[in-house]
Structure 1
């Protein structure tokens, strides 16, 4: 039950917020999400643009329904710094835009081959067909998960980041891979080796299905619209912290074996490297957040390797 209201001193950090009040009131037993909503309403800007930090130690005040103001250590007359993060864009929108690029680029290159390359045969090779199918299915699955599966802990991100994030997928995963693998001189234009091709398909299928299963496990840890976290369990979680990244890597190795292209290999190296950093960060967060309740993992992403 809410206790007596307390006064917090509000100060700006960074860019000016014209209507930012000098102080606000809240309840210690109230949620920090309510505090964010109150300051946003008083300031006249979107709550998603705000970042609150404690004046005493600079620690972040989370925007969470299940996190009380008292838990942050704020008390009456405590100073709270408010930062305007600038224009924001929804994470779901970001993901849709990112994956849309390669989802369109690969079929376009595949079907426009005779017009894009000199001396390109009318019919693509089997490996070019297989590569196009794999890549299209992969990014179509990503779009499906974005719309129907993922539940995001953060609603938005800075709008300016959409260009950086999209460049990775549109340029590196889309145009750069597509230009080389659909060329009549590419390794994919040569006859396929059945053993390597079957291995590529097997890795791709196992990787994609395992990744999808992991995303459903992670989805079920969070209620609709909630930001709560839980300890995931299930296929792959006994081996590594982030089996979704492990299965993603398997799927991309399958795509690389099918295309046998340096451009695909470059994307795999960059993507796996980035996922490895995310996996290490998530392992640290699980240990800090759940303590002894969490079974610490020796490997964050790839068993025996990382």
Structure 2
């Protein structure tokens, strides 16, 4: 039998029953998982639920993975675990739906009701029509993927993070980008558009073709990642196939290409800032994912760039 002492990492009204000791009859430290510890803790402390509990070794800050066993995380007989209340939780699916809904509301408002924002009507140029269609299609695709494609290793995240995560899309990709590209500066009568390549039908079609390739390629990589993880599991495997032959995160690369097209079409400072901010964050995530793949699969993981072929 395994007996695991558990205390609270800091005082909280939800942990009045702590410290305590959880018993797992007939099991060894090689069999008991962190998820089972959370379940047992919730059973003895009704105010706790597994989704909002973080478990760490006593004296350490790193939270332990639900699928890890006690022995695999270094717990030994007599060792103590600490539980942290992570606060109110929200599902990852809901988080992404909220994030992407912002641009889907802001862009139509500024495009269809320009007088409310610019004090005048705007005769939309072909460029503005293309960009509007591309932005709307992109975020509708994102919503579709959030609901029907993505499978997450963690079921929930702290609710407070929603506001932080939404800033990039609601403010940078929503308000700032929409206000810039639907303004009179880009209208059909603007000197910035008339007589330039930005009203050339061949140029616009070529840009749209590259953008469409990037969007479909991004979707393809997401489907490959989805098929690696059976529904209801946290299974991890090495991805192969379209884009993954050279990159750990080809989905990020195709995302960058799609927005790079919008930047090239418009020359908008807001579009460039949105792309640069997004590229920076995707770079941080790509480094982390690349490192985790190499750590988990060792020599079995192929040599790949992180997210940009021959560059990074």
TM-score, structure 2 length as denominator?
0.90
Aligned match of 1:276: 283
Aligned match of 2:76: 75
Is 1:95 aligned with 2:91? no
Task: Structure 2 unaligned segments of length 5 or more: list them.
Answer: none
Aligned match of 1:242: 249
User: Which has the higher mean CA deviation after the structures are superposed, 71-80 or 55-64?
Assistant: 55-64
Alignment of 1:35-54 (within 5 A): 35-44=37-46, 45-54=48-57
Once the two structures are superposed, what CA deviation does each residue of 1:98-128 show, in whole Å capped at 9, x if it has no partner? 000001111111111244323434x411111
Is 1:22 aligned with 2:20? yes
1:293–1:134 Cα change, 3 Å: same
The Cα shift of 1:71 comes to 2.5
C-alpha separation in 1, matches of 2:265 and 2:252 = 20
C-alpha separation in 1, matches of 2:234 and 2:91 = 15
C-alpha separation in 2, matches of 1:237 and 1:183 = 39
1:199–1:162 Cα change, 3 Å: same
Aligned match of 2:158: 158
Once the two structures are superposed, what CA deviation does each residue of 1:21-66 show, in whole Å capped at 9, x if it has no partner? 51111333133322221112222211111111123766542112xx
Q: CA RMSD, aligned part only?
A: 1.8
Contact 1:187 1:259 in 2 (8 A): no
Task: Structure 1 unaligned segments of length 5 or more: list them.
Answer: none
TM-score, structure 1 length as denominator?
0.92
1:169–1:41 Cα change, 3 Å: same
User: Which has the higher mean CA deviation after the structures are superposed, 106-115 or 192-201?
Assistant: 192-201
Aligned residues: 298
Contact 1:221 1:232 in 2 (8 A): yes
**Structure 1 ranges of 4+ moved more than 6 A:** none
Q: 1:215 aligns with which of 198, 222, 232?
A: 222
Contact 1:49 1:88 in 2 (8 A): yes
Alignment of 1:1-306 (within 5 A): 5-16=1-12, 17-26=15-24, 27=27, 28=29, 29-44=31-46, 45-55=48-58, 60-64=63-67, 67-121=68-122, 123-186=123-186, 190-191=193-194, 192-297=199-304, 299-306=305-312
SS at match of 1:52: strand
